[in-house]
Homo-oligomer: A and B are copies of this chain.
């Protein structure tokens, strides 16, 4: 559009010189200038942020994330900007995972997909109808860059299961230009969000070869269950250690799906799986909570099974067997390091005073060993700050009542009380 505006203004200049009265030209020129302004003001993008600030103002896009430090959940949230995460498959799960990491302010995202956006994808979050026909990677970069310009986005529009695609995939994972000091590969985590066996095996192969930790995710064809899984080469089962019982052989698995039949999908199941996947990733990267080795989601019964899978010593994947051997060889060093850390932690614990000498929430820690202190602490915590009242009687009153002893009279009185209350209710 800018080119058109420039051309119009030039034409108006020429025309003005040939006219005796310049007034109509001035009017036209102001129209053009108005239009140029209107066309520019939308979309409004936010400017980049140099350093994450925890300042609590409406204009700070990171205030609610930096609050995780104040709340004691994460030690150093700012580290998120150093991390690179690769997401393979930008569909119903991968696109939402990418958006979540982008909104969390991840340092760098690598996106892999070869598909294009269709109207048939609109029953899942993320893509918009106006992006139909774009490649999923291009559409994702368009949306994500607008949401958070601080994230470095690299997109790879290709199929990682082809020979050339696989090579590009592994070499992109090895590229360390974003954070040259990093150990291992150039990425901190690979998330597999693909929908077929072949692609999962390709991610598995690359990660086994590179000794790269990754997480796998999946959603069932009937749209009502899913899972996430952590895979650490050599330490946990790889994808080939316990493969699906039945797989395609010799022919492309996509042609196995009969014409006119398609898998069901729901934005809910995919959103939950993406949320669990990125939550597990944040716990892994930022070192908080417990990273789940496997977490299932059965939405019909709201059942969330967990399990742990050790590597299969007869795994068909040669690279997996190599990683298993390395892991076993490193066991003595790992045990020694763990022991040293435990001893150091124990020493620090003795040296330290109370964890929170003073805290903002007026929470007092009760020492079990000192009965007197307990009583004092609990009675002082009964006094609520101004502006707060209790909706239910305090627990102490209940304890006092039962502390009277097992005397029958007291209990009968309670029953009488209850009966009276019930009668009063019925009468009301």
Contacts and interface: CB of A to CB of B under 8 A. Distances in A.
Interface in A253-304: 256, 258-269, 271-272, 274-276, 278-280, 282-283, 288-290, 292, 295, 299-302, 304
Contacts of A425: 313-314, 321
A59 B278 contact: no
A103 B92 CA distance: 12
A424 B82 CA distance: 44
A67 B258 CA distance: 14
Nearest to A148: B122
A250 B120 contact: no
Contact of A35 (B4, B120, B123): B4
Given A11-B31, A146-B128, A119 B268 contact: no
Contact of A130 (B19, B44, B244, B245): B44
Contact of A11 (B18, B27, B43, B224): B27
Given A64-B265, A266-B104, A271-B96, A391 B146 contact: no
Name the interface size band of chain A: 35 or more
A290 B298 CA distance: 11
Interface string A204-247: 00000000000000000111100000000000000000011111
Interface of A: 1, 4-5, 7-8, 11-12, 14-15, 18-19, 24, 27-28, 31-32, 34-35, 38-39, 42-46, 56-65, 67-68, 70-73, 96, 99-100, 103-105, 118-120, 122-125, 128-130, 132, 146-148, 221-224, 243-251, 256, 258-269, 271-272, 274-276, 278-280, 282-283, 288-290, 292, 295, 299-302, 304, 306, 313-314, 321, 360, 384, 387-392, 421-422, 425, 428
